[in-house]
Structure 1
Amino acid sequence: MLDRLVGLAMLIVATTVFSYYTIWTLLMPFVDEDHFLQSLFPPRVWAIRIPVILILLASAVVGSFLSVVMIRSNRKKALKAKQGKKAS
């Protein structure tokens, strides 16, 4: 039950973000600058900055995770090799 509720919440958030970003980037350039709808959206330059920042942040997190996993794996292999040499 809880997993369905979480899934539904994630779907609603993803749909809302997608709709907001689509309206902001594809429709708002055709709306007059003095229209009240323009006040609901940040300046257009952020339409590029936000995704770039998120991609860089996600790449850093994934790269750090992979580095930690590889370092731990190599330590385990080195420890096993060291124990194998001591046993013989």
Structure 2
Amino acid sequence: MELADKTVGFLLSVISLSIFTYYTFWVVILPFVDGDHFIHKYFLPQEYAILIPVFAGVTLLSLISAFIGYVMLKSKKKKKRA
């Protein structure tokens, strides 16, 4: 099982590093490259550089809030039964 854990950890690290590198290049370096350069076809428009993280953050906070609410309601029902 230890080899499988190391493999999964390595894959998650590679994926995270790839996403970080892509996003950093997209947000930090790409605005300084000419608009007609061929590299622009590999990246989404700049508006998505803000929209994607905001949408992901709102979704994550919503899921966490729903989970906490569910746990609180479930624990409240258990206290009434006891």
Same fold (TM over 0.5): yes
Do residues 46 (structure 1) and 41 (structure 2) align? Answer: no
Q: What amino acid does structure 2 have at the position aligned with 1:50?
A: I
Q: Deviations over 1:24-77 (max 9, x none)?
A: 000000000000001100000000000000000000110011011000000000
Name the CA distance, whole Å, in 2 between partners of 1:34 and 1:46. Answer: 19
Higher relative contact order (CA 8 A, sep 6+): 2
- 1:10 Cα deviation after fit: 0.3
Do residues 67 (structure 1) and 69 (structure 2) align? Answer: yes
Name the CA distance, whole Å, in 1 between partners of 2:69 and 2:20. Answer: 32
- Structure 1 stretches of 4+ with a deviation exceeding 3 A read none
Identity rate of aligned residues, in percent? 35
Aligned-residue RMSD, C-alpha: 0.4
Q: What amino acid does structure 2 have at the position aligned with 1:3?
A: D
How does the TM-score come out when normalised to structure 1? 0.90
Partner of 2:26: 24
Unaligned runs of 5+ residues in structure 2 are none
Do residues 56 (structure 1) and 58 (structure 2) align? Answer: yes
Name the CA distance, whole Å, in 1 between partners of 2:41 and 2:31. Answer: 13
Do residues 37 (structure 1) and 65 (structure 2) align? Answer: no
Unaligned runs of 5+ residues in structure 1 are 81-88
Question: How many correspondences in the alignment?
Answer: 80
